[in-house]
Amino acid sequence: MLSSKKGHNRISHILRGFRSLWPVGRNEQGYVLPWVLIFTMVAGLVIVPFLNYMQAGVRASYSQTFTMQEFYAADSGLEDALHKIKSDYSATTQLAADIDIHDTTLSVDSSAVFPERGVFQIGTELIYYSSKTDTEFTGCDRGYGSSHAASHDSGALVTVNLPESVDDTWEYGIENINGSDVGISIKNRWVLTGLETDTNGTEPNAALVVIGHMMDMTTTQLSGDIDEDDTTIPVASTVLFLPASADSPRVIRIEEELVQYTGVTATEFTGCTRGFDDTLAATHAAGRTVTANEVTYKTDMTYDNSHGVIKIDRVGAWLPSGFDYVPGSSNVATELDDPIFSAATSIPVASTLLFPDSGVLAIEDELIYYDSKDSDVFEDCIRGYDGTVAADHLTAGVPVSAEPTQTAHHGGTALTWDIPTPCPSFEELPRPSSIGGGSQPTDEFPIKRMVTFRFSPAAEPSGIFAWIRTTRNDIYLSWDTASRAYEVVSVATDQTMGTRTAVQGYINTSKLTGRVNQVFGDARAIGNSLIRGDPVRRDELHTQSNAFIDSSHGNAIPDGAEVEMAYLYWSGWRNTPWDVTGYTVADLGPMVNQVVFNGTPATADRVQALPNKASGGGNHGWSFSCFKNVTSMLQPEQSADITLSPSTALDSVTVRNTGGYDLDLRVTVLSGPAGGYVTFDGQTISVGDYDDFGIQGEAQLTSGDVAGDYVVRLEVTGSNDEGTVDGTVIDSYSWTVDPASIDITLSTVENPPEATVTKITTAATIDITNNTPNAPPGPQNNITIDGTTVAPGDTLEDIWYNSANPSDTISGAADDRSYEVNITCSDGMVKIEYGSTSVIIGEPGSQTTNGEYTLGLLDSNRFVTEADLGDEWSHAAWSLIVIYSHPDEDARQLFLYDDYTNVGNYADNFPAGYLEFDIGGFLAPADFDGVMTCFIGEGDPHYAANSHAPEGDYIELNGYKLPRTGSPYDDPYDDPDGLNPQDNVWNGISSVPGIEGSGSGEGIDIDAFWIEEPVINQGDTSATLKLDSGIDIWNIVYIFLAFRTDPVTLNTGSDVAIINFSS
């Protein structure tokens, strides 16, 4: 870090106490107005001539003449600093000899590019030097600023850079300018100084990224020669230019001439005023470039959702002097709800959420001031505001944009869109537009939003920047970190008289970027089935299956990758209830929403369910898709705070109706603990009592929370009824040997306050802290682990797990109280299970990427059972999508379509038998490639194309059927009718890597398809996907696409990030 010289900060002494300032300077269009502060000191008398803030990219123009040579010398120092800032100055050399902490003359290879005096850095030490020769720095003050003197070896790097961090300062000097020696100080100032408070720090939060950049200037070419009197300008095309009218003219530039136009055709600008804004009308030859005089500036904002919901109350941008905001050009907007006439003082709109309580809005070419608002209307409006013309707006749906507040700041203009309470969430800000007309995202990572506006003239505004403000202290502000603000002070000291002149300036710089937030990465999709057997009527249920991401299966995630998101899906078919008419997801979800993932119970974040139809159109059970975000299970936190409490483990069985009518059942609690009870189908039955039920689908019988054994009799009371109790048949048929009743025992067990810690990796190390309050004090507050007692406030460190000691139990000293425990993992990964909760923690940066993944049925609530086997619809499977970033990967656009959907001849929502939709938001580079993965249930090998359905089941992208010949995911490579034939693509055989032993009896397809030219070609921005079934019915769980996109030339409103969800 570079800082002011300790003990003798002459600059701050010179500047201290001066407050009376006044501006001079000249505003040149396309440049930034300089502001300069000059101090002249003679025998202690201080005169303050003027103040001027200077912006990068501009050489100061002064409108007054100063006779003092010190001023010109000081000004030369300011110009030198400006040049260094513009060129992003840095200088390096190497030590030519070893030095110790006492050396004050340092030999170097060359000092040619270094200032005559100043501060440089070696390692972490800052060193001030007062003079130099060609190969030496002399008069060195070691351990400058807050650094410490140290020894350095020959060859060590000697560097000087512009100060990088806020409040860092670099000083240097120039000798003998007009008889004066000049001392120059460059200090990094917070770019939002004077715009926002720094109470919450001057470093942006990495979770919220803001990047501002310009879109390319809109250009065309003259299609014919024009002279200085022509008022119609012929061009190749006007398609990208803004429309204009007599009330709302626009401006174009041809060479050095500005031309105002009031109309456009496809190939002409009409109603032109030549030599606009004091430029010179001139002749121009065909082929000359014609440029729009307005440019779009985009504030790209990206949030990784790591802090949950954040509320936004301000979006801002700063324009340097010479540039103007174009009224009505902001996309902070809503839509007109109904037509309005020019006299209307109420403006009905879709929403006023993003607008301040009062302010100015724009509709087409009219500005309107409103004094108040409701949720969907602006009230007390003044029409034709600020010199515009009140007009009728007769088209509902036209944009209504919020006009920013414009405030003078540092010689330019600060634009702020201030949003009152209730503030919108980040997600409610304007979305980026899709390039190819594809659907908008329904869920994203990272979340991308964008505020745009136009400015004029069409030039690069050096120093422009943008920022965003939230309502939270921990993530209060974020701004374009490519922007810098420097405070420069140049002090000239006359060598003879000793008089001094100080010149101070503020200089902004920014590096405009052509795109935003490039995230490079890819994804892996794996999965497997839980049902196999007969290819037509699958009849084998497996309680667990596995899949792999590793090099041996050709789908390894590269070393050094970071898991960004991980999504788990499971899907299947249930035969009860057979008819789900009238059922909701809330009714069906609890039957299927739990699994065991990698040994840890998991409950779905979302459940979708659909009725299934038989070939004749009748009811045929129901299918489901469950989703769980398992990112935290693959990328765990380092520590967990857990509460150990006494718990009660209940026991349960599932009763299912397997007959054609309601299952009439009497439930009698024969015995149990005093005060005990059981619950059946949501009803409580006390010990010694009974109740009668009619079961349509299935119901749970569960023991009560009083510890003990419950003996319960289940008796079929209806005639010709049949059911099962955890698979055991009971019925009332006289001709069967099955019993009409069954006695079962359910046990409720009281568990003490304890947790189990189990290693996940080969070895792991944890620390355990007892945070239980020691009040009242005593041994009852202690916990134990592996026989070791840990008292409140104490920590047991370095508990090591390996193959000989894979797990431990943490227990509280008393069975009737709770304990607060912190567990921190310093090496490897462990799983902590307590009560009905489990959590995974790991060492910093730990994550699960390559290896074996498993999904199993939860014993107490299986999402599929033996009763669901033996049908053509029988299927149960899972799939995991792991999304990662890695600097060596290409930039990719990822899409996930996961609306659970029936497709087929008997699907009510697709009477045509197919699904078709567009995907947009990518820009295909040369040698385009991509992978599409589909999770489909249920597929049948025997429903191939025939004379009634010659195309069979197929998937088509841009008119090309998949898989293409030579696809890496098809086998053999030269046979399109390999694993998944084009006319029977959903055949119950999965082609995605990582599945071992995939056959034709699985009933599900997790298939990957390679996409390349000519399916998608260079420059394409959208694609059409079609899935058709002329012979079968199946369900889409998800369609996942990973398309390589161009990371350099993309310069549009589209998102190029790691994940977009499109639906």
* Tokens (6 digits) for 292: 């729009």
304 compared with 686, residue with greater pLDDT: 686
Q: Are 233 and 272 in contact (CB under 8 A)?
A: yes
For the residues 122-135, what does the mean pLDDT come to?
90
Q: From the CA atom positions of the chain, what is the Rg in Å?
A: 37
Is residue 963 a contact partner of residue 970, using CB atoms and an 8 Å limit?
A: yes
Position 867 confidence tier, pLDDT thresholds 50, 70, 90 = confident
Model confidence at 485, pLDDT cuts 50, 70, 90, reads confident
Backbone phi and psi for residue 222, each to the nearest 5 degrees, phi listed first = -65, 135
Q: Which two tokens stand for residue 480?
A: 């374009």
**Quick one: which of 946, 1018, 1015, 1012 has its CA closest to 983?**
946
Count CB atoms within 10 A of the CB of residue 946. Answer: 11
Neighbours of 921 (CB within 10 A): 28
Supply φ then ψ for residue 848, to 5 degrees: -100, 120
Domain 754-846 falls in which CATH fold? Jelly Rolls (2.60.120)
User: Regarding predicted confidence, which is higher, 309 or 382?
Assistant: 382
Fold equal for 521-634+853-1062 and 754-846: yes
> In this predicted structure, what is the pLDDT of residue 442?
47
Q: What is the 3-state secondary structure (H, E, C) of 715-768?
A: EECCCCCEEEECCEEEECCCCCCCCCEEEEEEEEEEECCEEEEEECCCCEEEEE
Contact call for residues 656 and 700 (beta carbons, < 8 A): no
- Provide mean pLDDT across the span 225-237: 95
| Residues counted in the chain | 1063
Q: Give residue for tokens 């324009």.
A: 319
Q: What pLDDT does residue 974 have?
A: 37
The helix or strand, by DSSP H or E, that contains position 70, with its residue range, turns out to be helix 69-86
For residue 9, give the nearest of 178, 187, 192, 198 by alpha carbon: 187
Whether the pLDDT of residue 768 is over 80: the answer is yes
Residue 203: pLDDT band with limits 50, 70, 90 = confident
* pLDDT of 354 over the 80 cut: yes
What is the pLDDT at residue 104?
94
- Cα dihedral 928, 929, 935, 940 in deg (nearest 10): 100
- If one looks up domain 652-750 in CATH, what number appears? 2.60.120
In which band, very low, low, confident or very high, does the pLDDT at 35 lie, cut at 50, 70 and 90?
A: very low
pLDDT at 404: 96
Confidence at residue 47, expressed as pLDDT on a 0 to 100 scale: 26
Say which residue the tokens 């103040």 belong to. Answer: 51
pLDDT, residue 269, reads: 96
**Residue holding tokens 């002090």?**
491
User: How far is residue 987's CA from residue 981's CA, in Å, rounded to a whole number?
Assistant: 8
Q: What is the mean pLDDT of residues 1032-1049?
A: 74
User: What mean pLDDT do residues 244-273 have?
Assistant: 91
| pLDDT of res. 518 | 40
Of 254-268, 822-836, 954-968, the poorest mean pLDDT is in: 954-968
Whole-Å CA distances, 790 to 665, 696, 783, 785, 835: 53, 53, 5, 8, 21
Domain boundaries, the chain: 90-161, 192-216+294-332+404-482, 223-287, 334-398, 521-634+853-1062, 652-750, 754-846
pLDDT value for 71? 65
* 907-961 pLDDT tens trace: 444 445 577 777 765 677 788 888 888 998 877 766 666 666 667 778 888 989 8
Average pLDDT, the chain: 80
Picking from 704, 706, 634, 714, the residue whose alpha carbon sits closest to that of residue 666 is 714
Of residues 19 and 372, the one with the higher pLDDT is: 372
The pTM (predicted TM-score) of the whole model is: 0.55
Question: Which one-letter DSSP state was computed for residue 557?
Answer: P
Residues 534, 92: Cα–Cα separation, whole Å: 74
Predicted confidence at residue 635, as pLDDT, reads 79
More confident residue, 958 or 446: 958
Say if residue 457 is preceded by a cis peptide, omega within 30 of 0. Answer: yes
The rounded distance, in Å, linking the Cα atoms of 897 and 938 is 18
**278 backbone φψ class: left, alpha, beta (φ>0; ψ -120 to 50):** left
**pLDDT given for residue 77 in this prediction:** 79
The domain defined by 192-216+294-332+404-482 folds into Immunoglobulin-like (2.60.40)
* CA-to-CA separations, 116 to 81, 133, 187, 561, in angstroms, rounded: 14, 9, 19, 47
**β-pair type (447-456, 324-325):** antiparallel
Q: Model confidence over 551-564: pLDDT tens digits?
A: 888 888 888 788 87
DSSP H or E run through 443: strand 441-445
Position 1061 scores a pLDDT of 34
Residue 382 near residue 329, CB atoms below 8 Å: no
Residue whose tokens read 């309502």: 471
Q: 215 φ, ψ to 5°? A: -75, 160
The answer to whether residues 613 and 907 touch, using CB atoms and an 8 Å cutoff, is: yes
CB 525 within 8 A of CB 879: yes
Q: What is the pLDDT of residues 292-328, one digit of tens each?
A: 988 888 888 888 777 778 999 999 999 888 889 999 8
Average the pLDDT over 501-513 and give the result. Answer: 66
- Residue 146's Cα: distance from chain center in Å? 39
pLDDT tens, position by position, 89-109: 788 899 999 999 999 999 999
Weakest mean pLDDT among 56-65, 587-596, 786-795, 966-975 = 56-65
pLDDT of residue 18: 25
Q: Which of 72-76, 442-446, 544-548 is modeled with the greatest confidence?
A: 544-548
Among 54-63, 187-196, 999-1008, name the most confident range.
187-196
Distance CA 788, CA 782 (A): 10
Residue tagged 């779905």 (tokens): 604
Pick the closest to residue 932 from 892, 987, 886 (CA basis): 892
**CA 336 to the chain's CA centroid:** 30
Count of other CB atoms within 10 angstroms of residue 139 = 12
| Pick from 57-66, 323-332, 702-711: least confident | 57-66
Contact 613, 622 (CB under 8 A): no
Q: Residue 368 — pLDDT band, cuts 50, 70, 90?
A: very high
What are the tokens at 492? 């000239």
| Mean local confidence (pLDDT), 998-1010 | 75
Where residue 890 falls among pLDDT bands split at 50, 70, 90?
confident
CATH number for domain 521-634+853-1062, candidates 3.30.70.360, 3.40.30.10, 2.60.120.1200, 2.60.120.10:
2.60.120.1200
In the predicted model, what is the mean pLDDT of residues 604-614? 84
Q: How far apart are CA 547 and CA 568, in angstroms?
A: 13
**Do 109 and 135 form a contact (C-beta atoms < 8 A)?**
yes
The pair phi, psi for residue 141, each rounded to 5°, is -105, 105
Q: Which amino acid appears at position 201 of this protein?
A: G
